[in-house]
């Protein structure tokens, strides 16, 4: 039996049709995904904090290398732990309505009384 190998290149018409058929998800799905991502980031921050306290890691840099992230990104995620408990609840429920940068900048405010948009 003979095996023939070659590269398959679909025609431009097939690619254009596939592009038309690939619809963008509804806005509600996109918004939920962002909220889920923020909730996962907050959960990750708690997991990292527990691992450091348990002695599994010594620094954020070590955690970053283990997770394949940059140290500044790990620091940004860890900044979510500075959020007021009420805002953390909103993030976990998925109704904070803001991005991680705004959340982290809010967390670094000296007073928790500053309202978060959303």
Residue 76 domain-assigned?
yes
Residue 67 domain-assigned?
yes
Residue 30 domain-assigned?
no
Q: Determine the Cα–Cα distance for residues 56 and 68; give it in Å rounded to an integer.
A: 16
State the DSSP string of 3-20. ---------HHHHHHHHH
- Comparing 106 with 73, the larger pLDDT belongs to 73
- How does pLDDT run across 69-105, given as a tens digit for each residue? 999 999 989 988 988 888 888 888 877 666 767 777 7
- Comparing 16 with 56, the larger pLDDT belongs to 56
Print the domain residue range for 50: 35-107
pTM for the model stands at 0.61
Domain count within the chain: 1
Residue 72 domain-assigned?
yes
Asked if residues 101 and 93 have their Cβ atoms less than 8 Å apart, the reply is no
- How does pLDDT run across 20-75, given as a tens digit for each residue? 555 666 665 555 677 788 888 899 999 999 999 999 999 999 999 999 999 999 99
Q: Determine the Cα–Cα distance for residues 20 and 16; give it in Å rounded to an integer.
A: 6
């Amino acid at each position: 039996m003979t095996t023939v190998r070659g590269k398959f290149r679909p025609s431009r018409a097939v690619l254009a049709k596939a592009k038309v058929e690939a619809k963008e998800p509804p806005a509600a799905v996109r918004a939920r995904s962002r909220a889920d991502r923020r909730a996962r980031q907050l959960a990750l921050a708690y997991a990292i904090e527990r691992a450091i306290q348990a002695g599994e890691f010594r620094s954020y840099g070590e955690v970053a290398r283990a997770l394949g992230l940059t140290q500044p990104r790990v620091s940004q995620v860890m900044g979510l732990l500075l959020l007021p408990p009420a805002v953390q609840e909103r993030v976990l429920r998925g109704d904070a309505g803001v991005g991680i940068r705004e959340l982290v900048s809010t967390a670094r405010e000296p007073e928790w009384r500053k309202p978060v948009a959303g």
